[in-house]
Homo-oligomer: A and B are copies of this chain.
């Protein structure tokens, strides 16, 4: 049998065209198919994730998520990002203690941005400020009346 000259007799059972993608044969990634199809990822496979304090509406920070980071955020109760600079997953609070507890996640109308509402423990910014934007205002020209 090891020298069978006619592999065509067994099509589909040997040398599959694609490797098994994971636990669900119909889903090639960790996300539900509809969500995976709705995401408009950048060339690095990422979408922007705006993180907002759920009760005060403060914008705390902006991070980046690939499919796996979004999956972890949606299923574990803790926000996980993908670090563009370190090229690794990063679960907020693991080193600082400044955990982000997930309250809700929404995807915007064109699929390239997430709004993650959280309960932030302590400072969101690694510099120690509550948000990553605190005290970092730019000089702008006088604003016209709205």
Contact = CB atoms under 8 A, between A and B. Distances in A.
A137 B62 contact: no
A112 interface: yes
A105 B85 CA distance: 24
Contacts of A139: 32, 74
Contacts of A104: 137, 140
A60 to B, nearest CB: 10
Contacts of A129: 109
A144 interface: yes
Q: How large is the interface on A (under 10, 10 to 19, 20 to 34, 35 or more residues)?
A: 35 or more
Q: Is the interface of A mostly helix, strand, loop or mixed?
A: loop
A137 to B, nearest CB: 5
Contacts of A126: 109
Contact of A75 (B74, B136, B140): B140
Interface stretch (A2-10, A13-21, A22-30, A42-50): A42-50
Given A59-B115, A77-B144, A101-B144, 15 more contacts: A32-B139, A42-B42, A48-B48, A48-B62, A57-B57, A57-B59, A62-B112, A73-B140, A77-B143, A103-B143, A104-B137, A106-B136, A108-B132, A109-B127, A121-B146
- A-B pairs, top 4 by smallest CB distance, nearest first, are A57-B57, A119-B146, A101-B146, A62-B113
